[in-house]
Structure 1
């Protein structure tokens, strides 16, 4: 475990301990009374509240039951799960190759998700990439992270993921910044092929694609790209980590941000015109 990851976990653990302390105090219980109600030693209660020791999910459930705070149980458990695995260090995993990094969000997660909400600001999302465009992006990250060169296998994994687009009952709501159309990965020919593929996908009834034009008045600005899997998970990719958000209050904030980004986007003929405009500039 790197110092960065360890520090992050300890911070979340202290936050969770503080919130559990607030729950206990709101119930009017002392540490000893809570310990007696939950069948544990009072020193363990103190360690949990001070972030010295992590509680289990069972601890959180029993804590909330003893404090008549069942309405807070789900969110506190979500915080606990963040403390357990808030961030998967991609740089560490990349030593085993980019194919393993791409495994941060498994095909199983894709298969069980019905509604995908995707926002990207500087590239086309992985599920919508051509093999050539994907290879150009992955080659850059392999070089930058000094990972083993398994680009062919990594592209194969990403192309396999695209099969989820054909599964019945899936919906894909995508918002891209216009910059994502203009960021060149690979050759001009690669970019032309990618944008042409995007136009084809837009015709599918289960895919909604909005594009936020450059220099447009808007109601929200996304700091980074993110993916929402139903209402249960938000995933963000940074150069060094894959971050998974499950805390209900944070999920709600991402949903609000996505709605704001949608409000700033154009769709249908206007979105197609933006893509065609970029294609014409590349051909010029």
Structure 2
């Protein structure tokens, strides 16, 4: 079972909080003394040391200055920022719209050689058609109330996919729940086009596409959509945020989960039959 998606974040933030406590104790100071020096209420020291409140760069600088440990501030600030980057709220990265978010993934996509993606809700972005992506991103933009740059965001997503999916240097192992084929994003014509493209994509040398049938005897329950990039990073998609997992033991759990999902999936003619049945159901 994969760990909770936020466990890496909690561990990273706890490590920063523990280090702040160690610096204070090494300086022989009480929490009250640090608070007095920094001009804070004592309760803030307790919140920072217990990881209740993530420290800002200014907080860390004030803490280290109070403890005579200014030389440790830079490393702590870097560690705190790393922890913040593990849990990224969509509202933070979508302030200016969705196009910039789509473009931000390109360096990661370019350097990744093996993508392992499990999808429990929508067709993975790398195989989305223009109409499907337009309908999906439009609904996301509306729900999150982002600036309307959906058309540009769709173009950015499709440009990114075109650069990597047909590139022989990349390999995409994709496993979808059958429900993904049945959940209608956009109208019937949009879904028919999307499902037809999945059939075509199965012929791409870089793509391995499996579908977990409704009738599969579950040895692994449905979880959030996630992607593992090579074997170094996993990303899980939540309603309010994306969670980037880099702790090796947790990445291994996502790899294990992907292997279990892959065992449940059908491929080739059996997968095509499920996709075709979904097209037929559109009427």
Q: What band does the TM-score fall into relative to the shorter chain?
A: 0.7 to 0.9
Q: Can you list the C-alpha shifts for 1:224-245, whole angstroms capped at 9, x where unaligned? A: 0001100111112222212211
Q: Is 2:169 the partner of 1:134?
A: no
Does the 8 Å CA contact 1:222/1:257 hold for their aligned counterparts? Answer: no
Task: Please list every run of 5 or more consecutive structure 2 residues that lacks an aligned counterpart in the other structure.
Answer: 1-7, 31-44, 65-70
TM-score, normalised to structure 1, is 0.74
Q: Check if 1:196 corresponds to 2:180.
A: no
Note the C-alpha offset of 1:81: 6.7
Moved over 4 A (4+): 8-11, 15-21, 44-55, 79-82
Contact 1:219 1:263 in 2 (8 A): no
Q: 1:42 maps to what in 2? A: 26
Question: Which residue number corresponds to residue 217 of structure 1?
Answer: 217
2-structure distance, mates of 1:237, 1:100: 17
- Aligned length, in residue pairs: 240
Give how far 1:45 is off. Answer: 11
Return 5+ residue gaps in structure 1 as ranges. 1-7, 22-30, 63-76
The residue aligned with 1:174 is 174
**1:205 alignment counterpart:** 205
Q: Distance in 2 between matches of 1:259 and 1:43?
A: 49
State the partner residue of 1:116: 115
Number of the residue aligned with 2:262: 262
Deviation of 1:222 (Å): 3.5
Residue deviations 1:13-47, cap 9 Å, x none?
A: 225655999xxxxxxxxx7xxx8xxxx99239999
| Distance in 2, Cα, partners of 1:10 & 1:124 | 30
* SS of alignment partner, residue 118 of structure 2: strand
CA pair 136-44 structure 1, distance change in 2 beyond 3 A: farther
Q: TM-score by structure 2 length?
A: 0.75
Whether the 8 Å CA contact 2:109–2:164 is kept in 1: the answer is yes
How big is each residue's C-alpha offset from its partner over 1:174-231, in whole Å with a ceiling of 9 and x where there is no partner?
0000000011011100000000000000012221111000132022123100011001
Q: Is the 8 A contact 1:133 1:190 kept in 2?
A: yes
Provide the rounded CA distance (Å) in 2 between the counterparts of 1:244 and 1:263: 25
Distance 2:92 2:132 in 1: 25
Map 1:138-149 → 2, pairs under 5 A: 138-149=137-148
Q: Distance in 2 between matches of 1:84 and 1:97?
A: 21
Cα distance between partner residues in 2 of 1:210 and 1:262: 7
Q: 2:102 — aligned with what? A: 102
1:13–1:172: structure 2 CA closer, same or farther, 3 Å change rule? same
**Partner of residue 160, structure 1:** 159
